[in-house]
């Protein structure tokens, strides 16, 4: 599979996780906080809780976990924007990881 195709696939899988998490939060009765609860669930599923806690800390907040995710989500423009960042970020990380590994492999052959 080509790296760009892999990046698109990773982004699509992340989009499914975001969508499933939001629907799950809605079914659980999150009401007007459905988007935020869904994003918090997605961040947890992707193992990014530490990253959002660090970002919230850099913003001057002392919250952690889902609260940190909510702070960051609100700061970037809400659940829709955060969902797009997660999907795009996952795809970009996959593609960038491939490119780094490809470069390292080429450098190793030069030795």
Number of H helices, E strands in the chain: 5, 0
The number of domains in the chain is 1
The whole-number pLDDT of residue 28 equals: 85
pTM, rounded to two decimals: 0.77
- What is the average pLDDT across 61-87? 93
pLDDT, average across residues 28-57: 90
C-alpha angle 89-93-94 in degrees, rounded to nearest 5: 120
* 7: containing domain: 3-110
């Amino acid at each position: 599979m080509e790296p760009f195709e892999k990046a698109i696939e990773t982004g699509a899988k992340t989009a499914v996780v975001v969508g499933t998490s939001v629907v799950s939060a809605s079914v659980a009765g999150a009401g007007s906080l459905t988007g935020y609860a869904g994003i918090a669930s997605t961040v947890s599923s992707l193992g990014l809780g530490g990253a959002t806690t660090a970002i919230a800390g850099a913003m001057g907040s002392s919250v952690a976990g889902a609260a940190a995710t909510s702070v960051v989500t609100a700061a970037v423009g809400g659940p829709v924007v955060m969902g797009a960042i997660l999907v795009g970020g996952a795809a970009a990380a996959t593609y960038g990881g491939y490119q780094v590994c490809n470069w390292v492999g080429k450098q190793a052959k030069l030795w």
